[in-house]
Amino acid sequence: MKRREFWARFRRNRLAMTGLALVAGMFVVSLAAGWLAPYDPNFIDLKAVLMAPSGEHLLGTDPLGRDVLSRIIYGSQVSLKVGFVAVGLATLIGLLVGALAGYYGGWVDQLLMRLVDLMLCFPAFFLILAVIAILEPSIWNIMVVIGLTSWMGVARLVRAEFLSLREREFVMAARALGASDARLIWRHMLPNALAPVMVSATLGVAGAILTESALSFLGLGVQPPTPSWGNILTAGKDNIEIAWWLSLFPGLAILMTVMSYNLLGEGVREAIDPRLKE
């Protein structure tokens, strides 16, 4: 599908355009956090402990007097890093495994797909919890662990595409001309198998952000004083009866982010799916 046709179909979907606008807004907020945040996110002001939303602190303060709005703005940087790095790693592994399984078939396919089945046997979140509990909790460990435990869906998608593509005329013609296996896989077949991967990666960012927030909420993710939406929610849990804003605003940030990526992913799927052409 040509880019112009894809964009024409995509922009007709108002929900997808809304998701794109929200994602773009998140990027701007994340990149400009130093200018947009009214306070240092780690500045402790014991005179402003658990202050309700006001003109001075638009979203209130936490138990240490830190500005919640500033911490949410800086927390968006953590969410974007985790989402894109983790999904990027998962996509690379899934592309490699799926391409090899779908292209070679036979015992290679059987071996790699049994590995996928083995990984799917373990509940992903509990596997992540176990690994993070052993390793030192840090943003890099979280990104790597999420990426290493979420590549299986991409592998299955790519394998299915390769099983279909390897019998196509253009692949057979390239093979007849003496193209190597590596050239066939990476130059001829992979570009034609990326459409479902794009959708999966977009939706995967939302899942990675949710996972990071859950880990930080449990105290196994990004460690204080680094601001993260999950550890802001932890403070909200401890003060839910007297500081409702500590739970509401970071929760809304997570909700809006996940919803925007889901809308964007669905819009991409509808734009590239030929069965949905008018």
Quote the tokens at residue 221. Answer: 């993710």
Q: How far is 278 from 269, CA to CA, in rounded Å?
A: 15
Quote the tokens at residue 259. Answer: 């919803």
**Which pTM does this prediction carry?**
0.86
Which superfamily, per CATH, for 3-31+69-276? MetI-like (1.10.3720.10)
Domain map (residue ranges) of the chain: 3-31+69-276
Residue with tokens 């799927």: 269
Residues 6+ apart with CB under 8 A from 42: 66, 225, 227
Mean pLDDT by 10-residue block, N- to C-terminus, for the chain (278 residues)? 78 91 93 93 92 93 94 92 92 94 92 92 82 80 89 93 87 85 86 86 90 86 86 87 92 93 89 61
Q: What is the pLDDT of residue 2?
A: 67
86, 147 Cβ separation under 8 angstroms: yes
Alpha-carbon torsion 32, 37, 41, 43, what sign? positive
Q: What is the pLDDT of residue 121?
A: 87
**Residue of 23, 12, 13, 14 lying closest to 260 (CA atoms):** 23
